[in-house]
Amino acid sequence: MKRKIRSLALAAGVLSILASNVFAQEMLQIKGSDTLINLVQRLAEEYMEKNPEKYIAVTGGGSGTGIAALINGKCDIANASRLMKSKEVAQATDNGVEVNRVVIAMDGLSVITNGNSPVTQLTVDEIGKIFRGETTNWSEVGGPNMSITLYGRQSNSGTFVFFRDAILKGDYSQKMNRMNGNAQIVEAIKQDRSGIGYVGVGYVKEATGLNVLKVASRAGEVYASPLNSADVKSGKYPIARPLNQYINGTPVGAVKDFIKFELSEEGQKIVEDEGFFQIPNEYDEFNKKSGL
Amino acid sequence: MQVSIAMNKKRSWISTQLKEKLIHDFFFINGIISVIVLLGIFALLVFTSIPAFSEINIKEFLLGLEWNPTSYVKEVYGIVPMIVSTLMVALGALIIAIPLGVGTAAYLSDVARPRTREIAKPIIEILAGIPSVVIGFLGIVLVGPILAKIFGTHNGLNALNGSILLAVMALPTIISISEDALINVSDSYYKASLALGATKWQTVIKVKIPAALSGIIAACMLGMGRAIGETMTVLMATGCAPAMPESILGPVRTLTSSIAIELGEVAYNTTHYYALFALGLVLFIITFLVNMTSDIILHKYEKVNR
């Protein structure tokens, strides 16, 4: 009996030491955008390698999911490929969450078609018509006589909302396939000669079998590619967008430390490595105002 | 001495009584808990759905042909395309799974040698343990491209893909329960039929399957329940376009996938939030109707059989 008690006490002791170790580590919860997940995961890995005592968990689910988690106090940082809606900001305020935004990278949101498709450039207006379901055949935009198959994201996606608000300025065609994430759209377009879709530029950098379309803001303007970093930064590529992280209040402690790493030269190099673009100077200023 | 024995006896009698009563209560509580949980879920669904209809016209909800609660222009809540999609995928799955499932069950119970059965049955039951995400993934990378090739469509993300995957998921249930039902058919039926000169084939088709029909129908209904309620697989493999489905080779979006897609991002206590619970209520009612129909069929059959 005595021995049993002793071994129990020992086990409890070991457990409590283990537990206290786990809790001693600062645990950051990051949640949200599918576009940002690979990038932020990579940033977190590099950061944890340099700071072994820190621990960061990065999960996806879509910008909407991340923002909802921040509002409900379920995460420290919300990745978002779109801006928060005023309704969401109001909800956050109601819950005592003071919304603060940081820009960590630039994205040239890429419109893609199958590598065998002859269509390699479109205007913003043409893209809008295609995704609103007004243009339904490739022959109307200089392609073969073949119906267009649309691939987009689900409504919890920031990319879904951004693309709708910035390009469509109307509702998506009800016939658009609603895919689970960027990677699934890339896979679908690779297999479908009639397909067109939109994904973050980080997902097309190394993909083969795709056309990454050149886009002009209107007919007669120059067509620019999202793969060209200068065009994305200068805004010549018309579907460029900032990729954001939302936090509660002025960043302090572990949150601040990690975001500082993301914005550092080293962090921004990882951003380029993952196929996205470094933040331009205007957003440097913006981030400083957010307390960094 | 004698007194103490009598007291002991009395005490043990009381304790047995008490034990009996405790056990009785324990089972009663267990039985009632599932009823309470069911009623609780139903009440929750009803009460959380009701606020939705302060802003949504109920007729528009039930008969509307478009569902777009996050619209850029105007929010619309119409569930007809989703109900059609759900039924299409589930019925498709049953059409594929019932002949296959019942056939396999008949094979296992009456044709296969005992050793074959011993190997085959556990393997079939393992099929039930495959996570739905894995099946959905197979739908994207394997079934989809094959369907696209066979039918010459642009992609394989369609209702048929969903049906095939759900059929695979429903098969273990259907086979396992049907086989049990067939095996439980009294041996005297089998022998009598053979003695009357029927062949083994005729006996299985005309005697054993009808005799086991109640179990087989129950199996199929359980399979249907699984098909209607399954979420991840259909979410991944059917394209999820919210438009009214045009054919079995077009994309569909079921009730379950709509709830799964939208519940993650919806703001609490908004019309959209309540509307999603209303979708859940509709789903609940559909499965309830399926179960009730199967119950009615069963009872009718039992009466005829008597």
- Cα of B112 to nearest chain A Cα, Å: 42
Residue of A nearest to B155 (CA): A192
Amino acid at B225: G
Q: How far apart are CA B268 and CA B264, in angstroms?
A: 10
Residue A235 clears pLDDT 50, i.e. is over it: yes
Q: Considering just the CA atoms, what is the radius of gyration of chain B in Å? A: 25
pLDDT given at position B306 = 47
pLDDT, tens digit, 9 for 90 and up, residues B125-184: 898 889 999 999 999 989 999 999 999 988 999 999 999 999 999 999 999 989 989 998
Pull the structure tokens for residue A259: 């975001």
Could you tell me the pTM of the whole model?
0.83
> Are A61 and B264 a contacting pair at CB < 8 A?
yes
Output B19 or A17, whichever has higher pLDDT.
Answer: B19
Residue A159 clears pLDDT 70, i.e. is over it: yes
pLDDT, tens digit, 9 for 90 and up, residues B251-300: 999 999 999 988 877 777 888 999 999 999 999 999 888 888 877 877 77
> Are B240 and A177 a contacting pair at CB < 8 A?
yes
E strand or H helix that includes residue A34: helix A34-50
Contacts of B137 in chain A (CB under 8 A): none
CA B91 to mean position of chain CA atoms = 11
pLDDT, tens digit, 9 for 90 and up, residues B79-94: 999 999 999 999 999 9
Query: Identical fold at A2-106+243-289 and A110-234?
Result: yes
The rounded mean pLDDT for chain B is: 89
Which residue ranges make up each domain of chain A?
A: 2-106+243-289, 110-234
Taking every pair of Cα atoms in chain B, the longest distance, rounded to a whole number of angstroms, is: 94
3-state secondary structure of B155: coil
pLDDT band at A46 (very low <50, low <70, confident <90, very high): very high
Instruction: Indicate the range of A79-88, A231-240, B141-150, B286-295 predicted with least confidence.
Output: B286-295
Buried b (16+ CB within 10 A) or exposed e, A49-72: eeeeebebebbbbbbbbbbbbbbe
Contacts of A64 in chain B (CB under 8 A): 264-265
pLDDT given at position A6 = 56
Q: Where do runs of H (alpha helix) occur along B50-113?
A: 58-63, 80-106
What topology does CATH give the domain A2-106+243-289? D-Maltodextrin-Binding Protein; domain 2 (3.40.190)
pLDDT given at position B2 = 58
Tell me which DSSP letter residue B221 carries.
H
Residue A145 clears pLDDT 80, i.e. is over it: yes
Which residue in A174, A180, A193 is closest to B241 by CB distance?
A: A174
Residue A25 clears pLDDT 50, i.e. is over it: yes
pLDDT given at position B7 = 63
Q: Which residues on neighbouring strands pair with residue A108, listed in sequence order? A: A240
Residue A15 clears pLDDT 80, i.e. is over it: no
Which residue in A156, A187, A194 is closest to B264 by CB distance?
A: A156
What topology does CATH give the domain A110-234? D-Maltodextrin-Binding Protein; domain 2 (3.40.190)
Does the beta carbon of B247 lie under 8 angstroms from any beta carbon of chain A?
no
Contacts of B68 in chain A (CB under 8 A): 171, 174
What is chain B's percent helix, strand, coil content, to nearest 5? 80, 0, 20
Contacts of A178 in chain B (CB under 8 A): 239-242, 253, 261
Q: How many CB pairs under 8 A join A and B?
A: 82
Does the beta carbon of B154 lie under 8 angstroms from any beta carbon of chain A?
yes
Q: How far apart are CA B258 and CA B248, in angstroms?
A: 19
Question: What residues have CB less than 8 Å from A234, skipping those under 6 apart?
Answer: none
Which residue in B66, B72, B144 is closest to A170 by CB distance?
A: B72
Residue matched to tokens 């979708």: B279
Residue B36 clears pLDDT 70, i.e. is over it: yes
pLDDT band at B223 (very low <50, low <70, confident <90, very high): confident
ipTM above 0.90, yes or no: no
Tell me which DSSP letter residue A96 carries.
T
> Are B73 and A87 a contacting pair at CB < 8 A?
no
pLDDT given at position B268 = 77
Contacts of B235 in chain A (CB under 8 A): 180
Average pLDDT over residues B54-64: 93
Contacts of B262 in chain A (CB under 8 A): 155-156
Helical pair B271-305 and B80-106, crossing angle rounded to 10 deg: 40
Other CB atoms within 10 A of residue A269 CB: 12
DSSP E strand boundaries for chain B: 67-68, 76-77
Percentage of residues in chain A having pLDDT higher than 90: 72
Amino acid at A261: F
pLDDT band at A20 (very low <50, low <70, confident <90, very high): very low
pLDDT given at position B282 = 95
Residue A48 · residue B244 · CB < 8 Å:
no
